[in-house]
Chain A
């Protein structure tokens, strides 16, 4: 269970620089050519899967990260 402070900081309630800029960490993201970090994910029907289950299904897998907003 994630701690409440992290949940609140990650799911920031206002688009203000002091709340969103800390999350823009692309330069520190995993390097190409290396094994991808794996994490649990959930389908819209609530069933659990993993990112590794997704990437292992196709020769190549495109993953777009985002949200409604």
Chain B
């Protein structure tokens, strides 16, 4: 996702990471109880996991996250006037890149004089499902996170 942000930044595309709540709290990164702790965890996202996009925090009660469906790692695309134009219940760089290329192309078509009207489309995209890598991520959170995920999903 960082590489995608860099790739499209020169084409008028902004990218942010919006910090929500701990989906898999563990001993190293427990559930959030204060805004100060949320800032610490968000800085770790930058410093430990290497997120290079601007990181912004939601309120401690997740007001924004909850309003958008509160999925643990979803992505949305907004246009400049604040209209929602893409939503995905999981963050997948290939899916987002595909959408951005479509929207940028539509912008060029409009500049070329085409009259375009919006329509709705649904699509079932495919994401990488690397179970071993996911478990390595859980291990960073602490043994509790691994134990609870294994109990929930095996």
Contacts and interface: CB of A to CB of B under 8 A. Distances in A.
A59 B12 contact: yes
**Most-contacted residue by chain A among B44, B46, B148 (CB, 10 A):** B148
B60 A11 contact: yes
Interface string A15-43: 11100100111111111111111111111
Interface magnitude class on chain B: 35 or more
B80 A56 contact: yes
A8 B84 CA distance: 30
The SS class assigned to the B binding surface is mixed
A36 B29 CA distance: 31
Interface magnitude class on chain A: 35 or more
A15 B79 contact: no
Contact of B152 (A15, A33, A35, A38): A15
Contacts of A51: 64
Contacts, number: 233
Interface string A46-69: 100101101111111111111111
B69 interface: yes
Nearest to B13: A60
A30 B67 contact: yes
B68 A69 contact: no
A32 B119 CA distance: 10
B56 A36 contact: no
22 contacts: A12-B25, A13-B25, A16-B148, A26-B74, A26-B89, A29-B67, A32-B120, A33-B85, A36-B83, A41-B18, A41-B56, A42-B35, A42-B57, A52-B82, A54-B78, A62-B14, A65-B65, A65-B75, A66-B20, A67-B21, A69-B25, A69-B26
Interface of B: 1, 4-5, 8, 11-26, 29-33, 35, 39, 41-46, 48-49, 53-87, 89, 91, 96, 100, 103-104, 107, 118, 120, 138, 141, 144-145, 148-149, 151-152
Interface of A: 2, 6-7, 10-17, 20, 23-44, 46, 49, 51-52, 54-69
